[in-house]
Structure 1
Amino acid sequence: MSLQFLLTALVVVLIPGTGVIYTLAIAFGRGWRASIYAALGCTLGIVPHILAATLGLAALLHISALLFQVVKFAGVAYLLYLAWQAIRSGGALSVEACPTAQRGWRIAWRGALINILNPKLSVFFLALLPPFLSGDPATATAELLGLGAVFMGLTLVVFVTYGVFAATLRSRLLSSDAAMRWLNRSFAALFAALGARLALEKA
């Protein structure tokens, strides 16, 4: 595994995307423990896409316009649902002083769905991973899975860091109703914007 791959993967993971925004929303709303579940879920949501890239299914998704559109619009609907959950009082992603209790597995599952329902991720890994292979066909599958595992490890570490940092600011935000309203509206707007961007993506 090359240093170039590690640096490339780290830069990609550090750029805030849907998973980071979800992790931050959970951290601000429910604290650092919940944010770890969110980060774990987002990381596990990468698994199907790495397997798709390894098995060649990503190429099929890229070629099949119908399959791509089905997964894409399921993802769009889900992001709009998360936007509603961020702005709705008592919603799963709303930032409130006394949030309703949620099981860790539910937080993780929502995070996983964010990535599972993003068809661009399979195509992304199909483009990202092969250039870093050794060129030996006999070890190509193992190398792809290894690179994917490293990418997932970096994702988990970076997302947990984002979440724990955000959680440290939580107590300050909870003392201001205006700050909580601003955060809820901001997260709702971000998820809605990400849903609109996904809707415009092409295979």
Structure 2
Amino acid sequence: MSTAFLLTTLAVVVTPGTGVVFTLAAGLSHGRRASAVAALGCTLGIVPHLAAAVTGLSALLRTSDLAYDVVKYLGVGYLLYVAWTTLRDKEALTVAAGAEPRSAVRTITSGVLVNLLNPKLTLFFVAFLPQFLPTGESGSAGAMLRLGAVFMALTFVVFAAYGWCAAAVRDRVLARPRVMTAIRRVCAAGFVGLGVRMAVA
């Protein structure tokens, strides 16, 4: 496994995106455990993209404009939905003493959807990973699985770190509802911005 792969993958994972915003919101809302669960959900959302790359389905998405656009606009729609619910539901991003955390299943499901409907991940596995695969060898699928596993591990570690940092400042904003209102609006705007960027990409 090359250093170039690790450094480039780390740069891709560290760059803030939908998963980072989702994990930060979970950390601010309900603490470190919730942020770790959110990071796990986002990481599991990578599995279908990796499976598609291994089975060749990602090539179909890359060559079929219609298939790609369907996945892309489903992702855009979901991001706009998340932004709307974040603004509408004041408990979606609330810091309160003794607040009931979201169930792990619900958090993981939301995290999976955030990354599942992100066609950029499919393109990552199509355009980036093949550069590090042995060409013309039967072990290409196994090598892709190994590199994909590394990508997933880095995703979980980095996202969890983001979430834990958010959880660390949670108590400081506990008694500042105006701050949380501003954060909720920023998160919603972030989801809208990411959705618009995905739509025009």
Give TM-score scaled by structure 1 length.
0.93
Deviations 1:78-118 (A, max 9, x none): 111111222223443x2332545411111011011011111
Partners in 2 of 1:160 and 1:104 — Cα distance? 15
Q: Deviations over 1:131-187 (max 9, x none)?
A: 112335111110000000010001001111111111010010122122111101100
- Equivalent residues in 2 for 1:124-139 (5 A)? 124-135=124-135, 137-139=137-139
- Does 2:122 match 1:122? yes
Q: Which blocks of at least 5 consecutive residues in structure 2 are unaligned?
A: none
Q: TM-score under structure 2 normalisation? A: 0.94
Provide the residue aligned with 1:84 in structure 2.
84
Q: Distance in 2 between matches of 1:20 and 1:61?
A: 25
CA–CA distance in structure 2, aligned partners of residues 16 and 141 of structure 1: 29
User: 4+ runs of 1 displaced by more than 3 Å?
Assistant: 89-92, 98-101
CA distance in 2, matches of 1:151, 1:35: 19
Report if the CA contact (8 A) 1:13-1:155 is conserved: yes
Give the structure 2 partner of residue 95 of structure 1: 94
Taking the aligned partners of 1:172 and 1:108, their CA distance within structure 2 comes to 26
- Aligned match of 1:106: 106
Question: What is aligned with 1:16?
Answer: 16
Indicate if the aligned counterparts of 2:35 and 2:163 stay in contact, CA closer than 8 A.
yes
Name the count of aligned residue pairs: 200
Cα separation, 2, equivalents of 1:101 and 1:150:
30
| Higher mean displacement: 98-107 or 110-119 | 98-107
